[in-house]
Amino acid sequence: MEEVEAAYEWVEKKLVYRPPMKGWQSALKDGLLEAGVLPYNGFTLDHIYGTKIGVMLFDREGQKHSVVELLKYANSDTIVVYLYAYVHKILFTTKGRPKPKASGVIYQDADRVFHKAELVNKAMNEAHKINRVVLDNPMVGQGMGDNLMNIVVVPFPQPVGVSLLEVVGITKFDSFSEYCAGLSLSYNLTRRSQNHIIEVINSNAFFNYKYTNATAHELFNLMLDIPTNLRPRHVTSTLNLTQFCIDTVMTIWHYHGGCQVGRVVDKNYKVLGIDALRVIDGSTFLKSPGTNLQATVMMLGRYMGQRILRERDEVGEKNEKDLSVSPIEDETNLCSSFPKNKL
């Protein structure tokens, strides 16, 4: 656990920023406290019950930062980054091995030229052909999930300033609400919304940021007219929160779980039945953790990167010898059945 915590902290130090928390977000924070989403945890990166101020990838100047910036901490002598490269297939070698071993990839560059990149040898051009599937794991793509989201738009005649997801209310019902505002439109984002969202909208703290007659139920009614999905609307939805959530459900774009630990990869994120191939991304999650899935994906990358380096140091020369098996001469290089984005 210490290593996981250290990996989180490393990412947090490099990439995340404290939001400015202006009037609109502050009113929502007070509204959440008034609605009983307690305790107030202040500014924290932890996903804990209560109301908190989270983090964002935008700095004080409004510049967005992204995970790609972490590359600057890599050892430039041992890493090559190909921009606009598209991997078409993973190469495997089976010669003299009990199970297939990943040995490289065929990728296409920005000029649409195909290359072969191998674990040891330098990349070289090669004709592109389709081969048979190496390992058909029927669990690939099974168990995929997403967080459910319901939104409530709160119109307001004055511009309230742009703000992203700064304040978060996390309830013991395993639901949480986040809030962001546009120039003249403010809205609440709620996932598996609970009653507290009604109380926040109706709170004294939020009174100055909505039309005086805009009750939560009227706003729900408004939402039912917005085509968030193709589901039928029910007349009971404005009064029945559960029905409202079913009728207006949306995705939060937190897809995960297509290559789950135990089904497609083992606990070391190694692909079951294949050597020298790991999947380290959101597809391995059994469930979407916390408010910011991306933070956990980045932590996992750092954590596993550290572990792999350490293991390589431990194995030392033995590993060197193992990697020097060249797949070039091997006629059994085959195509993978794994999804393209899991490389």
Ligand X SMILES: Cc1cc2nc3c(=O)[nH]c(=O)nc-3n(C[C@H](O)[C@H](O)[C@H](O)COP(=O)(O)OP(=O)(O)OC[C@H]3O[C@@H](n4cnc5c(N)ncnc54)[C@H](O)[C@@H]3O)c2cc1C
* Residues with catalytic function: 254
- Dihedral of alpha carbons 124, 125, 131, 135, sign: positive
State the chain's maximal CA–CA distance in angstroms. Answer: 76
Hunting for tokens 């606009």 — which residue is that?
84
Contact assessment for residue 269 and residue 19, using Cβ atoms and an 8 Å cutoff: no
When binding is defined by CB under 6 A, the residue of 19, 31, 282, 327 that contacts ligand X is 282
Is 8 or 220 the residue whose CB approaches ligand X more closely? 8
Hunting for tokens 């606990």 — which residue is that?
267
Separation between Cα atoms, residue 273 and residue 266, nearest integer Å = 10
Helix (H) or strand (E) holding 11: helix 2-15
Quick check: 86 binds ligand X (CB under 6 A)? yes
Is 216 or 299 the residue whose CB approaches ligand X more closely? 299
Stretch that binds ligand X, among 10-18, 46-54, 219-227, 294-302 (CB under 6 A): 294-302
Quick check: 297 binds ligand X (CB under 6 A)? yes
Quick check: 253 binds ligand X (CB under 6 A)? yes
**Cβ 218 to ligand X shortest distance, Å:** 28
**Cβ 51 to ligand X shortest distance, Å:** 18
Stretch that binds ligand X, among 21-29, 137-145, 220-228, 275-283 (CB under 6 A): 275-283
Quick check: 340 binds ligand X (CB under 6 A)? yes
Going by their DSSP bridges, the two strands 101-108 and 148-155 should be labelled as unpaired
* Cis-peptide, bond into residue 98, ω within 30° of zero: no
Going by their DSSP bridges, the two strands 50-53 and 40-43 should be labelled as parallel
Q: Spell out the alpha helix ranges (H) of 50-203.
A: 196-201
Q: Spell out the alpha helix ranges (H) of the chain.
A: 2-15, 23-34, 196-201, 216-224, 241-247, 293-315, 317-323
Quick check: 292 binds ligand X (CB under 6 A)? yes
Is 87 or 224 the residue whose CB approaches ligand X more closely? 87
Stretch that binds ligand X, among 8-16, 69-77, 218-226, 292-300 (CB under 6 A): 292-300
Separation between Cα atoms, residue 150 and residue 62, nearest integer Å = 27
Stretch that binds ligand X, among 27-35, 142-150, 279-287, 307-315 (CB under 6 A): 279-287
Quick check: 293 binds ligand X (CB under 6 A)? yes
Is 37 or 293 the residue whose CB approaches ligand X more closely? 293
Quick check: 294 binds ligand X (CB under 6 A)? yes
Size of interface with ligand X, in residues (CB under 6 A): 15
When binding is defined by CB under 6 A, the residue of 21, 45, 87, 261 that contacts ligand X is 87
Q: Order the strands of the 86-93 sheet from edge to edge.
A: 86-93, 101-108, 114-118, 124-125
**Cβ 237 to ligand X shortest distance, Å:** 26
Across 127-231, the runs of DSSP E, i.e. the strands, are 148-155, 167-170, 176-181, 185-191
Half-sphere exposure of 59 (CA within 13 A, CB side): 8
Is 46 or 320 the residue whose CB approaches ligand X more closely? 46
Window 174-213: residues binding ligand X (CB under 6 A): none
* Binding-site ranges for ligand X (CB under 6 A): 86-87, 253-254, 281-283, 292-295, 297, 340-341, 343
